[in-house]
Amino acid sequence: MSDPVLALDHVDSGYGEAQVLDDLTLQLNRGEIVCLVGPNGAGKSTVLKTAFGMLTPWEGTVQYHGQNIGGMAPEEIVREGIGFVPQTDNVFGSLNIDENLRMGGVARTDDRLGEVIDELYERFPLLDEKRSAKAKTLSGGQRQVLAFARALVMEPDVLLIDEPSAGLAPNTADDVFADVQAVNEMDTSILMVEQNATKGLNISDRGYVLDQGTVAYADDASGLLDNPEVSKLYLGG
């Protein structure tokens, strides 16, 4: 595989004694959007948590630009250049948009925070218009955009996004997917988990179907969408 920015190789991982990931291997290449799909409980979120240091791999390796990061603390991983947008509780409701963005940059060690936030306001005008609105007053879709922007304050190379469309109406979900593509165009490689497999794959370069903690299918997104078996078993087709 060419130029992986993030690579999980033969990873076992889980919670306490409960193993979830079983010999899981996947890569994210520079510039890609890669979508993880599969049934509930397949381990999709567990992949993101293991890549972000919230879980330590029991076996196998997690590499970022060829450097082993398996088991590093999330705050170190953020400084290395990986961002994580969790599915829920991804903004501070009682803080306003500007404060949320500033919080997203606390780990920055340079003096470019203001500049980077200004660029994000340009990129996401809805946030600019509502700078002093408390995050809890935003709609679900707006909150998701704030959560992306908050992660982007660190200017990550890689963004891990857990179910960006969860709980959103179809039209709003489409807007959020368009924002995922806009983030990708800012030279951010994206590894995304998405329950709405068809929509997720539609904006992705490649995908992995996870089942019972391991990769059942790996292909270009269009290859997965066109695969009758994948469609029947996993895409509700």
Ligand X SMILES: Nc1ncnc2c1ncn2[C@@H]1O[C@H](COP(=O)(O)OP(=O)(O)OP(=O)(O)O)[C@@H](O)[C@H]1O
User: Which residues are near ligand X by CB under 6 A?
Assistant: 15, 18, 20, 38, 40-46, 193, 195
Q: Which is nearer to ligand X, 42 or 145 (CB)?
A: 42
DSSP 79-109: HHTEEEE-SSS-S-TTSBHHHHHHHHTTT--
Q: Which is nearer to ligand X, 61 or 195 (CB)?
A: 195
Q: Which is nearer to ligand X, 157 or 163 (CB)?
A: 163
CA dihedral 30, 58, 15, 201 (to 10 degrees): 20
HSE-CB at 93 with a 13 A cutoff on CA atoms is 6
Q: How far is the CB of 210 from ligand X (least distance, A)?
A: 6
Q: Which is nearer to ligand X, 38 or 104 (CB)?
A: 38
Helix axes 113-123, 140-152, angle to 10 degrees: 140
Provide the β-strand partners of residue 8: 26, 62
* Cα–Cα dist 91/207, whole Å: 27
- What are the φ/ψ torsions at residue 89 (nearest 5 degrees)? 50, 45
214-220 vs 59-64, strand pairing mode: unpaired
Q: Which is nearer to ligand X, 182 or 218 (CB)?
A: 218
Q: How far is the CB of 16 from ligand X (least distance, A)?
A: 7
Q: How far is the CB of 163 from ligand X (least distance, A)?
A: 7
Q: How far is the CB of 82 from ligand X (least distance, A)?
A: 18
Q: How far is the CB of 28 from ligand X (least distance, A)?
A: 17
Is-contact 59 101, C-beta < 8 A? no
